[in-house]
Amino acid sequence: MDVHKHMDYQTSYDQVADEYVRRIFGELQHKPLDRQLLDRFAASVREVGPACDMGCGPGHVARYLHEHGVQVCGVDLSPAMVERARRLTPGVEFRQGDMMALEAPDGAWAGIAAFYSIIHISRDDMARALRELRRVLRPGGLLLLTFHIGEDTIHLDEWWSQKVSVDFFFFRSDEMAGYLGAAGFEIEEIIEREPYPEVEHPSRRSYVFARRPKTNT
């Protein structure tokens, strides 16, 4: 991702942070499958080691995992989002970071939940982004990845009455499985669902459970 695009995303999310909190922070209560899959993720990592909510936004996924006994941190590109996440869930560590070049050491986490944080990564950059997630996972570490299903790219110049410059990339599940395989992950399961009416953008959703192999092959 080039530097200008990087800054566009950071600035755009800073601009919409308050409205994002208002609209998104409580969304999990309306999404039973998301809660079920986060419960499964939590059960897999709770006794193993720390986890990360990657692209955490206002930290609602990290908060959910924290409430379910996971030692979790949150990372987001937007300083405004990180500030709001810290205020909303003071018991969790949130910090600014770039998922393309994380400051975390190799094998830092037993799990990563990346809820819609790859939707701003282009196809050209996807393998590199996933390799970086693999690097910071322990051998055997679990990745739960979610995204919108499709082949579209949606560009916004205005979002919730704020001026922004942001691209949303949609992916097919088999396409994402290919990127994950190329980045060295093993796919455990792919789950798709229809959108929840009146709760979210009307796109089909994909959830992928993938692991970094236990051996470095």
Which of 29, 14, 165, 7 lies closest to 84 in space, CA to CA? 14
Residue 216 falls inside a structural domain:
no
State how far the Cα of 27 lies from the Cα of 214, in Å rounded to an integer.
34
Residue 133 falls inside a structural domain:
yes
Q: Which residues pair with 153 in a beta bridge?
A: 169
| Burial of 63: CB neighbours in 10 Å, binned 0-12, 13-18, 19+ | buried
pLDDT range class, residue 2, cuts 50, 70, 90: low
Q: Domain of 183?
A: 3-211
Residue 136 falls inside a structural domain:
yes
CATH number at residue 33: 3.40.50.150
State how far the Cα of 166 lies from the Cα of 159, in Å rounded to an integer.
9
Domain count, the chain: 1
**pTM metric for this prediction:** 0.95
Considering all CA atoms of the chain, what is the largest pairwise distance in Å, rounded to the nearest integer?
49
Instruction: Output the CA–CA distances (angstroms, integers) from residue 202 to 150, 154, 197, 205, in the order listed.
Output: 12, 13, 7, 9
Query: Each residue of 35-59: pLDDT tens digit?
Result: 999 999 999 999 999 999 999 999 9
Residue 217 falls inside a structural domain:
no
Residue 116 falls inside a structural domain:
yes
Residue 69 falls inside a structural domain:
yes
Residue 78 falls inside a structural domain:
yes
Residue 18 falls inside a structural domain:
yes
Query: Each residue of 65-111: pLDDT tens digit?
Result: 999 999 999 999 999 999 999 999 999 999 999 999 999 999 999 99
